[in-house]
Amino acid sequence: MVAHLLSLKWRLLLNGFRRSPGQLVGIIIGSLYALGVVAVLVFALFILRWAPLDVAAAAVTLGGAAAMLGWSLVPLVASAADLTLDPARFTTSAIPARELLAGLALAGFIGLPGIATAMVSLATVFTWSRSFAAAFGALVGAAMGALTCVVLSKVVTTATASLASSRRFKDISSIVFIVPLMLLGPIFAGVVSGVSESASFLIDLSEVVSWTPLGAAWSLGADLAAGNLLASLAKFLVAALTLAVLFGAWHFLLQRALVTPPYAGSTARKGGRLGLFRALPAHPAGAVAARALYYWLRDPRYAGSLVVVPLLPVLLIFPVGQSGTSAPLLVLGPLTAFLLAWSISADVSYDSTAFALHLASGVRGVHDRLGRALACLSFALPVTLIFTVGSVAMAAQWELLPGMLGLAIGVLLSGLGLSSVVSARYTVAVPLPGESPFKKPPGNVAQTIAVQLIGMLVLTLLVLPEAAILVWQLVSGTGVAGWINLLLGTVLGSVLFVVGISLGGRWLDARGPELFAELSANR
């Protein structure tokens, strides 16, 4: 039975490669990325072979503990738990629990994160190949540690299965997860500087962690290398006990999950709250704008990009603090304008087959386009203006303000026009409604990449005039150039906005059914 489960998982993994060439490209890119990370870590562990004992011990122990934390937390917040072997699917198959546990645990290693963890864990054996005993201890520790990672994540996902199946939890967790992801750079840099300043603290910390369930397995090699036989025996017991307790908990949870499927309830709400549908004009374009604004707030796929916006200044201020020059900060306004404008370039793809309502109602294409663009503009314009003024103020380069405003407004309006055309013509692979924004979307990845790249290239061409004048101002220092840019950005941007809306609208009228057919294929 264990072999059956393993071969099933292996078959599922292989079948993932047997989709369209476009998807294959996406999978290969993902695999290469994972491979790169693994290679760096393995290389680092090889180098540690010659590092001082306490440094190597701290690195391995803390790294291992971090991996365990990751395995338990990531599936929880990303809703990205690997459910291909969801225990609920075996409810009807009458598999003995013991074999199911063993099979699912081992199958957890088949897949990118599992393989990566196993490889990196095994590399610690080389780190501790300072003596035979140490290497042996590291091998045992690596096996136990990696297995603990997998079982821990299974325990967490099984325990929270009913929680995670509630829509509200999924919505919130997938948005919250974006914050640490976005701030990865600053966090990483902070950790690096912390490490270089307080190496001795980390060594002390690893001493403590090595006695906890998180670090015990990973410190076996270090203790044996240092000759602490007694300590290593005690830590082996801690690690073994951890694994046993986790298996027991998982067994219990699985038994419960097999007989009580997850249930997600919700409460009824009376009506009477039309909100934006009452506030905006009673016109097809107004209705589309109201609907789009609700989606910006309520759909995690849209709300996720809203959460990113307030983080952008943080990301840009960070390098300023590091280097002392405020130049990068000036990018903030145009960058925000670009991100927000481009975010509706996949609007129809995000609708998925719900677009049928627009098609069936005979909404005119131009109204559809206008509503979506105005919804985005209604908050993107204030944000762009505030960010531009704010960044210029922080950089204390007031003479650049009109020119920067011109560029930012130009990027925003031209971008919205371009997005209106792109989303009327091309569908791209996006997560389906109700799925996590991080979920690998079905559909044509190759077309998605092509549309994104070419679209950004075209946008660069469209805002070239504004960019050129800004450069002219920077080079020559003429203040009047800035005012020209403000005028040009507003006028040219508005023209491109209108052209984009009407062209996109015409394409939508002509190709609505074909667009819908593409959406139906992707659902």
Judged by the rule CB under 8 A, the positions of this chain that interact with other proteins are: 167, 266-275, 277-278, 282-284, 286-288, 290-291, 294-295, 298-299, 351-354, 356-364, 433-434, 513-514, 516-517, 523
- 20 vs 242: CA distance, rounded Å: 43
Write down the least CB distance from residue 362 to other proteins, Å. 4
Rank residues 89 and 167 by Cβ distance to other proteins and give the closer one: 167
Write down the least CB distance from residue 48 to other proteins, Å. 50
Query: Does residue 52 contact residue 224 with C-beta atoms inside 8 Å?
Result: no
Write down the least CB distance from residue 427 to other proteins, Å. 14
Rank residues 256 and 298 by Cβ distance to other proteins and give the closer one: 298
Tokens at residue 272, please? Answer: 């009477």
Rank residues 252 and 294 by Cβ distance to other proteins and give the closer one: 294
- 252 vs 260: CA distance, rounded Å: 12
Write down the least CB distance from residue 87 to other proteins, Å. 25
Rank residues 235 and 358 by Cβ distance to other proteins and give the closer one: 358
Rank residues 96 and 362 by Cβ distance to other proteins and give the closer one: 362
- 381 vs 374: CA distance, rounded Å: 10
Which amino acid is located at 507 in the chain? W
- 412: Cβ–Cβ under 8 A, 6 or more apart, which residues? 337, 338, 340, 341, 377, 380, 381, 384, 493
Write down the least CB distance from residue 103 to other proteins, Å. 30
Contacts 24+ apart (CB under 8 A), 390-395: 390/313, 390/332, 391/313, 391/316, 391/329, 391/330, 391/331, 391/332, 391/333, 392/330, 394/317, 394/326, 394/329, 395/326, 395/327, 395/329, 395/330
Rank residues 18 and 278 by Cβ distance to other proteins and give the closer one: 278
Write down the least CB distance from residue 94 to other proteins, Å. 18
Which amino acid is located at 111 in the chain? G
Rank residues 216 and 501 by Cβ distance to other proteins and give the closer one: 501
Query: Does residue 435 contact residue 523 with C-beta atoms inside 8 Å?
Result: no
Largest CA distance in the chain: 80
Write down the least CB distance from residue 265 to other proteins, Å. 9
